Structure formats: structure tokens, C-alpha cells
Amino acid sequence: MDLSLLSRKSDVEWWIEPHGRMRVPGIVFGTESLVKEMDEKVYEQVTNVATLRGIVRASYAMPDAHWGYGFSIGGVAAFDADQGGVISAGGVGFDISCGVRLLSTGLTRELVEPLKKRLADELARSVPAGVGRGGRLHLDGPEMDAMLAGGARWAVEQGYGMAADLERIEEHGRMSGAKPGEVSEHAKTRQRDQMGTLGSGNHYLEVQHVAKVFDPAAASAFALREGDVVVSIHCGSRGLGHQIGTEFLKRMVLAAPGYGIDVPDRELACAPIDSPEGEAYLGAMRAATNCALANRQIITHLVRRAFDSVVPRSQLTLLYDVSHNTCKVESHQMDGRTQRLFVHRKGATRAFGPGHPDLPPALSAIGQPVLIGGTMGTASYVLVGAGGSEARSFGSSCHGAGRSMSRHQALRQWNGRQVIEELASRGILIRSPSARGVAEEAPGAYKDVTAVVDAADRAGLSRKVARLEPLVCIKG
């Protein structure tokens, strides 16, 4: 990105001053080197989002931002329905409610290392991964609608996990306002055999160890200690979410002229929040969110069974589950008064600070866990929501390392088998049905996750708690 186009406010905050049709400024978080590395499309997309009707305060880009569809990935924007605010399918993304959940195992790296190969093989057998790979669960019509309405709560009622899990999931495991009837039969058909599966792309199931603790108080509250083994699950709403995004983008493109909406980029197709199209999308998107929450809940159950078969009587406890492709209705302080806003976070995670009413009692004093996925060869991070982040970014933080090159570029540079062998030489076991998929997700295809996390910490978006390093990675 051309820094001459930006106004520098601090070492980690840069502004795109309002110009042209912009209604609010654009704010990009990141160090000078991270912002320089961002593609020019990020500047264009942050600027374009700032032109949308009803946007408030600013159009944001997180430190991991890169080009996306309509919104940049790492983009955050909030809209006020009372000011004609809009909802954009491109501002949520195609993998609706893709997210990360983290499980503590109560096991140490010392205990797990000799069992690592058995554990990798058992997890790969237990949790299907890969393009179009189905699971053992098949949902008929009524079951599908019940899942879309019930989310992780439905999954727990079916025997997948424990009621205690729900307290550690955003929305307590179920997003209200879901309308399964707004989800097309085609979308439901695509999902019918996909529950309990990882999918492909950057989705993963990873066994990790806590390599370093930065904030002992927060780590203690999260029950994380150096040397502990944890499990991360990163996936979303699979084919159902993608189909919803595709269908509603088309609907919004056709409906926009009737509402006098003229966007600078067709990919920003949107509809007024309170319009029939806007309300239908919200209902379908919330159903997809519940699908993702149920999917991660079922995978959690499968992971627990796999661990128990290798390490009998192991106890895997859910620390937290957070989504990073959503639009949520939240209350925020604007000009001294509380406003009800529709906050789009695309490739960005919620990061509420201490005392927020949406946090479970056990986490209220310390803040929300923020789970940052890295790459299969580097590290992931646990952060915690920082006080004041709501005023800085509507309580939002980055969600991962962010790609530094396209999948096509990665394929030209890496061979999947070589990546697997190189990681194995470092003690990281990869299990994947696709060598091509591994090459596309090579660690070198991503930004330096540590630099991204450090920038989020310095910007006050979230605070570093612990660094996690991989032992086993199941990839799609």
C-alpha cells in the first residue's frame, strides 16, 4: 500500500482522510512494514466501504488485512439502521461464521510427544477433511431446520458435547433470529452430509502446545500454562454458508437500484437493514452462523472421542469459540449515547474487554479470549479483549496471519509433499488428503503472525496472552 495516501496517527494507526464519496474516514491498523505489504486493493476496499449508507465512525482494516470480495479480509464496519444503514453479504463473506475454538486437554507436551503419531492418525480418521468430504451424519429436512435454528445447543441436545460448553461460545451457542426458511433448498442440500467436517482451504484441526505466556493473570484465568497441550478447531458453515453468500449477493445487486443504492464496486452489493432483502439475509446469515457453531460442536465431540481412544480418560474443556465472518447487532457508545449498530466483521474477531455484559461470568473480569490462527508451521496466539477497544474498533481485532500471496502463487512456489516433509523434520505432523491443499497453505504464503499480533497488541485492539505452537495439524 502506498503510505503517501495515508495520514499517520501513530506507529500502528493510519487514516484515509474522507474524500470523494466517503462518509467517514478509513482507519488501517498495522506497523509501517505491515501496511506497506498490504495490497493496493485494501486501500480501495476500505475507501469504498466508507461510502456505504449509514456507516458510522469509520471503515476499519485490521493488521492482517488483505484483498477480499467487496470488503477486505480484516475489514470492520458498523451501520445504523436508523440512518438508513445497509447490510452487505460481501461484508460478512462466503464462509459465514468461520471461526476458531480452543480446547484445553489437561495434558502436557511431555506426555503427548510419544503418542503424537497415533493421535495424528486417529484425529485424521475421526474428523473428515477436504473438498466435498462428507461426514457420518446425514440430516433430513426437519433435522436440518432444527440445526439451523438451534446451533451448538441443538448439537449438545443430540449428544455432541456438554451443556457447559455453551457458556464458552459466542451467543451461548445459538444465534437468535435465525430463519431456516430463508435458506434455499440448494444450500441445505449442500450441507446435508457436511456436519462434523473441516472442509478445505485454511481450515484445520491442530494439536498445539503453549510455548510462551505473556500475561500470567489472563493465562491463569484461561487455564493456560507453558507446556500444556491444547486443540484448535478452525472451520465454518461449509457449503451452506457459501451458497447463502452467493445467492444473496445476486439478490442485493438486483434490489439495490430500487432503494437508490449506488455502490462503487458491484461486490459491495447491499440492501437496507430494514428492507425485505436485508431482513431475509439476516435470517439466513444467522441460520448459517448456527450451522457453523453446530459444526464446530460436533467436531469437538469427535476430537474428544479420538483423544480418549489414545489417552484414556482425557478431559478436553472448551476455553472459547469465536467467529470471524459475521454481522452482529451490538450496543456501542457513540457521541455519549448508546446506539444499536449492525457490526460487520469479515476476517476480524470480536474482542470485548473486561466487564462486557455478553461475556460469561467466569471471563467477565479478564475479558474475552481472542483466538488468532497462524499457519501449520509457525504459531497461533491467544489474546484477550482490551479495555477501550470498543472505542477504537467497535471491540474488534485481527483473526489470523493474513495471506501474503494467492493460492496460485503458493502452488508455483511450493510442493505439498516437500512442505509436509520439512514440517515433519521440525516435529510437526501433517495429515491431509490433498498435497495441493498443503502447498496452497504453505507457511510462507502468509504474513508473519507474530508481527500481526504485536501490532494488534500495540494498537490496543487486544492484548497478548499466550503463544501456541503446532504439534499435529489436520488439513483439508
The catalytic site residues sit at 399
Rounded CA separation 265/270 (Å): 11
List the one residue out of 323, 329, 327 whose CA is nearest residue 400.
323
Rounded CA separation 103/303 (Å): 10
Rounded CA separation 115/111 (Å): 8
Q: Which grid coordinates belong to 193?
A: 452430509
* CB-based contact 127:120 (threshold 8 Å): no
Q: Which grid coordinates belong to 277?
A: 432483502
Phi, psi of 220, rounded to the nearest 5 degrees: -65, -40
**β-strands 55-66, 26-29 pairing:** parallel
* Signed CA dihedral, 399, 404, 408, 414: sign only: negative
Rounded CA separation 44/41 (Å): 5
Phi, psi of 156, rounded to the nearest 5 degrees: -65, -40
Vertex 419 angle, CA 404 and 108, to 5°:
95
Q: Which grid coordinates belong to 71?
A: 470488503
